[in-house]
Amino acid sequence: MSSDGRLVGDAPATPTRLAEPDEGGGPDALVLAEATVAYGRVPALERVRGRVPAGRTVALIGPNGAGKSTLIRAILGLVPVVSGSITVLGETPARARREVGYVPQADTLDADFPVSVGQVVLMGRYRRIGWVRRPGAEDRAAAAAALDAVGLAHREKDRFGTLSGGQRQRVLLARAIAAAPRLLLLDEPFNGVDAVSQDALLAALAKLTATGTAVVISTHDLALAHLACDDVCLLNRHQFAFGPPAATLTPELLRATYGGAAVELGAHGVIVARP
Ligand SMILES: Nc1ncnc2c1ncn2[C@@H]1O[C@H](COP(=O)(O)OP(=O)(O)OP(=O)(O)O)[C@@H](O)[C@H]1O
């Protein structure tokens, strides 16, 4: 943090401002304070910092191996923070885990899961009700509303494995929404997802943030970050910037984050980053 309270990237020097909580957000759902995250002795991410107020969405952008998934795992309490801190909903990541939703990358999912779409979504309620109690009317209503929010209410009875990859991704988002998380983490949710599914995912996310849920999305899609996110965190082992898309998704900062060569201007002046 610089002397005027602005958040600056490690390199280059262009300062990027982090939204203050009173600029339309509520209390902080996530605070990264010079967090260094390591697998064993090897740091994967160094001195990451930023805040995500309630109801806001931040995109994690960076090349393959930049540490996006690592940061998500650290927010979940699965990878240790070796210096600095990560505060989730005012608690340590491990203590806040019950209030945090997580949608993994689609290609890590088992499509042969022998359950219906409706049952997958209902699983989102189990952390709330415990695995022993049977889901009640309220749980079923929450699951049905979540499935409706991703536009797949009509597939409730179908077997999960019979859905397309993009539809399965939407079901997993519905499962996370059904849990009513206060912070939702999505690891590359738009990989292999068609435009219709992507629109449905974005609409469902907008409904969720309107209720105060904060969202962190790891993505390679810069246009999406521009359109759908309040802030962008540029990562490549170090943090290069954290702030509104207009201030962070600049050719200079992207070139620095991607090590130069992998960023180019695409059609209509849109910056394209090759993963
Ligand atoms: N379990 C692990 N043990 C040791 N190192 C790991 C482990 N998982 C990831 N890493 C390393 O941490 C670094 C960051 O990886 P990470 O998966 O977080 O990147 P990413 O930005 O999500 O990449 P991608 O866009 O390819 O998904 C990489 O150098 C990777 O090799």
> Tens digits of per-residue pLDDT, 135-186?
889 999 999 999 998 889 999 999 998 888 888 888 999 999 999 999 999 9
32 contacts 228 by C-beta, under 8 angstroms: no
Identify the pLDDT of residue 164: 85
Residues with CB under 6 A from ligand 1: 39, 44, 62, 64-70, 275
214 DSSP 8-state letter? E
pLDDT for residue 192 is more than 80: no
Residue 196 tokens read as 């219709």
ipTM above 0.90?
A: yes
**Ligand 1, residues 64, 69, 73, 76: which to mutate, most atoms within 8 A of Cβ?**
69
Predicted confidence band at 19 (pLDDT cuts at 50, 70, 90)?
A: very low
- Cα 207 to ligand 1 centre (Å): 31
In whole angstroms, give the CA distance from residue 63 to residue 49. 19
- In 145-236, DSSP assigns E strands to 183-187, 214-218, 231-236
Q: Indicate which atom in ligand 1 lies nearest the CA of residue 63.
A: 25
Predicted confidence band at 56 (pLDDT cuts at 50, 70, 90)?
A: very high
Written as one letter, the residue type at 102 is: Y
Residue of the nearest CA to atom 8 in ligand 1? 70
Domain boundaries, the chain: 28-273
What is the share, in percent, of the chain residues with pLDDT greater than 90? 53
Q: Which fold has domain 28-273?
A: Rossmann fold (3.40.50)
Determine the straight-line distance between the first and last CA of the chain, rounded to whole angstroms: 29
65 contacts 259 by C-beta, under 8 angstroms: no
- Cα 67 to ligand 1 centre (Å): 5
What is the share, in percent, of the chain residues with pLDDT greater than 70? 81
φ, ψ at 229 (rounded to 5°): -120, 145
Radius of gyration in angstroms for the set of CA atoms belonging to the chain, rounded to a whole number? 19
In whole angstroms, give the CA distance from residue 220 to residue 272. 9
Residue of the nearest CA to atom 29 in ligand 1? 65
pLDDT for residue 97 is more than 70: yes
